[in-house]
Amino acid sequence: MKFIFHIFPFLLLCLNVSAQTIEENSETFANNEPISNTEIAIIPEPVRLIKQTGHFILPNNITIQVGKSAELKQTVAFLKERLSVPTGYYINSVNPPATNPTIKLVINDTEDATLGNEGYHLTVGTKQVIIRANKPAGIFYGVQSFIQLLPKEIESKEEIKGVKWTAPCVEVTDYPRLGWRGLMFDVARHFFTKQEVKQYIDAMVRYKYNILHLHLSDDEGWRIEIKGLPKLTEVGAWNVKREGTFGDFITPKPNEPRNYGGFYTQEDIKELVAYAKERFVDIMPEIDVPGHSLAAIASYPELSCTPEAVNYKVRSGEKIMDWSRGAPPLGLVDNTLCPANEKVYVFLDTVFSQIAQLFPFPYIHVGGDEVARNFWEKNDQIKELMKREGLKTIPEVQAYFEKRVEQIIVSKGKKFMAWDEVLEGGVSPTAAVMSWRNMQHGLDAAKAGHEVVMTPTQYAYIDYMQADAITEPKVYASLRLSKSYEFDPVPEGANAKFIKGGQANLWTEQVFNIRQAEYMTWPRGFAIAESVWSPKEKKNWTTFFAKTEAHFKRLDIAETKYAPSVYDPIFGVKRSADRNLLVTLSTEVEGLDIYYSFDNSFPDRFYPKYTTPLVPPIDAKVLKVITYRGKNPVGRMMNMPIEELEKRAGKR
């Protein structure tokens, strides 16, 4: 296919005959290439794509003709940069009229009802590209699809010579399934600089995400300047640098320097909000209360009901919760704001009035998750509050707190959003809910008339491991790409009217730097993007995975990190009738071979190929495996200790 792509485009004419839908456009390759036509690999899958004959060739002097130019200024600047940097071509933009512009961006005079606010129509002809939409957001998304039709080198951050800058001729009509297409980035557990957040935004807009949920406070850090509360950032933004497995770190000694972390000034936030807005992304702030609040309490201990809070420090990854009995956790320190203390509501009023000013997005997320109850259960102030307000249970105490917080949020002209635990003690009907523990909480909330965003752990927790724990950085749970791809935010029978959309969440306890944040986000971010944008009936795992491989190559050129974990084999273990270990190996994707060794040497394709369950030889210490596609290794070398397999198989 590459051969055809490079040699023939100049000979082909773009005729409106033999229109072919992309579904018909898959081919089998003899040379171990993935089974698909990767020349057209748009993620998320468009609503309708008709492939035409021929190719558009990008001229070295490009004219972009812009209709309502003021509205499209940022999109034009974006497109100019994306095209000019890798090609080195000259690009100018003009208002009509222009003779034969290369690219026309047109805001419809009469609205096209099918396209809505974010849809677009893209025509790539041999001589011209036209993107039409009702609104600027649609033009921006049309631009993203057009860029994905150009060769992968278009992702380069520097000029590349010798590339044939062509795109296949297509007609695309596209619009999103859902309006809320979010990614949550936890900048509290580890701090990510303003520049890194911009880098994250740059990657997400390629896949038509439109909401960046920033988790701005937690036990490990308070990340936003609040005027009049200077200790939040003087004290609350800093902890002790530790590396390894977060959660098991040794408690810092009093003299260890607290210089790891950081925060965004209000000017930084304005810059980020504007940067995101230019790319049609809204930033939703989250201040997580009443739990997850140790950074705020270390800054202002009077916000706690617990007198020992005067000695509390911002967490540096040491153990502060006992999860051995499940949720809710047992707090080893009291990381909750005190619902019985009026100072807390004064504090939150100050915080949320500034947050409301800084972030134009209508919703403020106030957390509400994983509140440890054990300190409240014993506290006299809480007991008094319960008596005074007629509260019978601790969840009702949280409900009292949430109602007060919602009053504050509403008084700032904003809408209240929180994690699904807030449903437990009863919450006002106007509260919007982010369903994370499973789909059911969200389905129930939608049925009860709450606005809901679906972000269930089972499909959308992209902090979880992507393959076996022997190769992945250790996290307490796993979520493979294929499972993420099954995400359906609005399943059959749901009260669809109230489900605003879906979101993937990147918690960063075990994510210490931006490269790892990218590794965790991609490719699962492709899967979630397709789950929230594309029509349900257009989703197809085989096609999606072929496109994913094409996008791996694009991310290589963009120098955006991604996880190759999908190529790693899946280990299964059981005991045979005579109690011996039986090891099964499988792959998440089709067409791969698995080679293995038990002799400590590195297997390649000349080693035994896995076909049936393996019984490890009596003295073997390690099973080494690697996947190939034909002659090419694609997976990573995995070293599985036999001892680990014995452990997984259970008692002999």
Give the footprint of ligand ACM on residues 371-430 (CB under 6 A): 419
Nearer to ligand ACM, 100 or 438 (CB): 438
Residue in the block written with tokens 């209240």: 416
Nearer to ligand ACM, 246 or 552 (CB): 246
Measured between alpha carbons, how far is 596 from 93 in angstroms, rounded to an integer?
A: 57
Q: What's the closest the beta carbon of residue 531 comes to ligand ACM, in angstroms?
A: 19
Nearer to ligand ACM, 419 or 519 (CB): 419
Residue in the block written with tokens 């369950």: 613
Nearer to ligand ACM, 436 or 485 (CB): 436
Is 406 among the catalytic positions?
A: no
What single-letter DSSP state applies at residue 264?
B
Nearer to ligand ACM, 349 or 369 (CB): 369
Q: What's the closest the beta carbon of residue 505 comes to ligand ACM, in angstroms?
A: 7
Coil, strand or helix at 127: coil
* 370 sits near ligand ACM (criterion: CB under 6 A): yes
Upper half-sphere CA count for residue 621 (Cβ side, 13 Å)? 3
Measured between alpha carbons, how far is 397 from 328 in angstroms, rounded to an integer?
A: 14
Q: What's the closest the beta carbon of residue 436 comes to ligand ACM, in angstroms?
A: 4
Measured between alpha carbons, how far is 124 from 134 in angstroms, rounded to an integer?
A: 19
Measured between alpha carbons, how far is 113 from 171 in angstroms, rounded to an integer?
A: 18
**CA-derived radius of gyration, the chain:** 27
* 463 sits near ligand ACM (criterion: CB under 6 A): no
Q: What's the closest the beta carbon of residue 530 comes to ligand ACM, in angstroms?
A: 23
Which DSSP string do the residues of 433-468 spell out, in sequence order?
EEE-S-HHHHHHHHHTT--EEE--HHHHBTTSBSS-
Residue in the block written with tokens 């190769």: 471
Which DSSP string do the residues of 37-48 spell out, in sequence order?
-TTS--SSPPSE
**E strands, 577-649, in order:** 581-586, 593-597, 622-629, 632-633, 638-641
Q: What's the closest the beta carbon of residue 244 comes to ligand ACM, in angstroms?
A: 22
- Helix ranges restricted to H, 48-97: 69-87
Measured between alpha carbons, how far is 470 from 356 in angstroms, rounded to an integer?
A: 44
Coil, strand or helix at 344: helix
* 185 sits near ligand ACM (criterion: CB under 6 A): no
Nearer to ligand ACM, 10 or 476 (CB): 476
* 436 sits near ligand ACM (criterion: CB under 6 A): yes
Which DSSP string do the residues of 140-195 spell out, in sequence order?
HHHHHHHHHHS-GGGG-SS--SS---EEEEEEEEE--S-SEEEEEEETTTS---HH
Residue in the block written with tokens 């949550």: 184
Q: What's the closest the beta carbon of residue 208 comes to ligand ACM, in angstroms?
A: 24
The one among 112, 268, 278, 369 contacting ligand ACM by CB under 6 A = 369
Nearer to ligand ACM, 91 or 454 (CB): 454
Measured between alpha carbons, how far is 309 from 298 in angstroms, rounded to an integer?
A: 7
Q: What's the closest the beta carbon of residue 504 comes to ligand ACM, in angstroms?
A: 12
Q: What's the closest the beta carbon of residue 435 comes to ligand ACM, in angstroms?
A: 10
Nearer to ligand ACM, 176 or 368 (CB): 368
Measured between alpha carbons, how far is 511 from 627 in angstroms, rounded to an integer?
A: 27
Instruction: Name the residue whose CB lies closest to ligand ACM.
Output: 369
Query: Which residue among 153, 225, 318, 370 is the active-site one?
Result: 370
Q: Which of 163, 29, 112, 115 is nearest to 557 (CA)?
A: 163
**E strands, 347-471, in order:** 363-367, 415-419, 432-435, 452-454
Mention every residue, 6+ apart, whose C-beta is less than 8 A from residue 311.
Answer: none
Q: Which two tokens stand for residue 129?
A: 């590209």
Nearer to ligand ACM, 143 or 333 (CB): 333
Q: What's the closest the beta carbon of residue 127 comes to ligand ACM, in angstroms?
A: 51
Active site residue ranges: 370
Which residues make up the interface to ligand ACM (CB under 6 A)? 369-370, 419, 436
